[in-house]
Amino acid sequence: MSALFDGFWALLGLKVLVSLLVILNVALVIIFAELKISAHMQSRVGPYFAGGRYGWAQPIADGIKFIQKEDLVPRDADRPVFKLAPMVVLAGTVAVFVIVPFSPTLVVRNLDLGVFYALAAGSIATVGVLMAGWSSANKYSLMGGLRAAAQLIAYELPLVLAVVGVVIHAGTLSMSGIVEAQAEPFFHLGETAIHLPYLFQGQVIGFGIFFIAMLAELSRTPFDMPIAESELVMGYLTEYSGIRFTMFFLGEYAGMFAMSAIASSLFLGGYYFPGLDSATFGPIVLMAKVGLLVFVMIWFRWTFPRFREDQLQSFAWRWMVPLSLVNIAVTATFKVVF
């Protein structure tokens, strides 16, 4: 019994603990980044007092405030589903991190079907959103939940199809395998080996589609129709308060982290950067790439209006799906020819 506990379970416990700590802390950092970046884009100062300097403790203060709030459940709500929904969202998001490689060795579990798993786990969060919308007994929540579901169906397909190009290139579905494949020299220029991430190996369209679909999957502007505060009050979040709202909130930002980490691993070379030792600098390199993508997402959020639901659908089916199919065909042709 003790041997079992020492080995497998201790390691598992440690992994879960470390992952959760890292993910939630990064989510807090992203929240802070969003507060500050949006403020500066709008000629404001942003959080200023919390923590004494630069308002660095603002997300923590917000979190403490939310936890103190009453946990309201509407009378007509479907109680178990209503209470479960935020957990599903958070759990689905956190589960994605299982396969994200932070360095050649720093990975929770290197699954052979890593990409497949990531995309599957990533869409669990949308089920949580649908649950929240349905169980709230609120018309705005319902519309928000249905919009989220429609969005998932429309954008899951281009998301998966965009990845296929990378998978064809790398010849593996394992995330670590894909990153290592990008660490291989793309070609040699005389004596120097040129390393390029897949983004610069011809997967520009793939990356573009992945990024747009990612925004839609995360309900970030310009695809934030499920929340759409000017239309649906707060969408599926309308009836949530206190700790449950916090879970949704953390889930959203953890989701940004998760999807950016996947996008960086698939298209931007993950933990690998030419000239830097992956074993030591891997996590820093990956976080830098994640930071870049997160910044672009925040940038979009504060500069774009949002699409309309039907425009989103027609954009997905008429442009993104055909384009990603073309991308697959071209990638496969090159792979076979060269």
Partner 1 sequence: MTAVDRHRLSMHHSEVQVSVELQTPDMTLNLGPQHPSTHGVLRLIARVDGEVIEEVEPVIGYMHRGYEKIAEVRTYPQITALVNRIDWVSGFANEIPFMVATERLMGLDVPERAQYIRLILTEMARISSHLVFLSSFPLELGAATPLMHALRERERVLDLIEGVTGGRFHPNFNRVGGVKPAAGAGSTQKKVIQDLPIEFLEQSRQAMQYVRDVCDDLKDLVVGNEIFMERTKGIGIIPVDKALAFGVSGPNLRASGVPFDIRKTDDYLPYSNFEFDVATGENGDCFDRYTVRLEEVIQASRIIDQAIDSIPSGELQAKVPRIFKVPQGEIYVRAENPKGEMGYYIVSEGGRGPYRLKIRSASFSNLSVLPWLLQGQLVPDVIAILGSLDFVLGDVDR
Q: Give whichever of 184 and 229 is closer to partner 1, judged by the CB atom.
A: 229
Cβ atoms of residues 132 and 145 within 8 Å: yes
Q: Give whichever of 55 and 92 is closer to partner 1, judged by the CB atom.
A: 55
Q: In this chain, which of 54, 66, 200, 304 binds partner 1, going by CB under 8 A? A: 304
Q: Give whichever of 19 and 38 is closer to partner 1, judged by the CB atom.
A: 38
Residues in region 15-44 near partner 1 by CB under 8 A:
38, 41-44
Cβ atoms of residues 165 and 328 within 8 Å: yes
CA pair distance 35, 12, nearest whole angstrom: 34
Does position 190 interact with partner 1 (CB under 8 A)? The reply is: no
Residues in region 207-226 near partner 1 by CB under 8 A:
221-222, 224-225
Q: What angle do CA 324, 326, 330 make, to 5 degrees?
A: 115
Q: In this chain, which of 183, 231, 241, 313 binds partner 1, going by CB under 8 A? A: 231
Cβ atoms of residues 156 and 319 within 8 Å: no
Residues in region 60-99 near partner 1 by CB under 8 A:
76
Q: What is the DSSP letter of 184?
A: S
Does position 310 interact with partner 1 (CB under 8 A)? The reply is: yes
As given in the structure block, the two tokens for residue 275 are 């000239």
- Quickly tell me which residue has 């802070």 as its tokens: 32
Does position 169 interact with partner 1 (CB under 8 A)? The reply is: no
Does position 143 interact with partner 1 (CB under 8 A)? The reply is: yes
Does position 309 interact with partner 1 (CB under 8 A)? The reply is: yes
Q: Give whichever of 44 and 69 is closer to partner 1, judged by the CB atom.
A: 44
Q: What angle do CA 122, 124, 127 make, to 5 degrees?
A: 140
Does position 305 interact with partner 1 (CB under 8 A)? The reply is: yes
Does position 239 interact with partner 1 (CB under 8 A)? The reply is: no
Burial of 11 (0-12, 13-18, 19+ CB in 10 A): exposed
User: In degrees rounded to 5, what are phi and psi of residue 192?
Assistant: -80, 135
Residues that bind partner 1 (CB under 8 A): 38, 41-44, 76, 139, 143, 221-222, 224-225, 228-233, 302-311
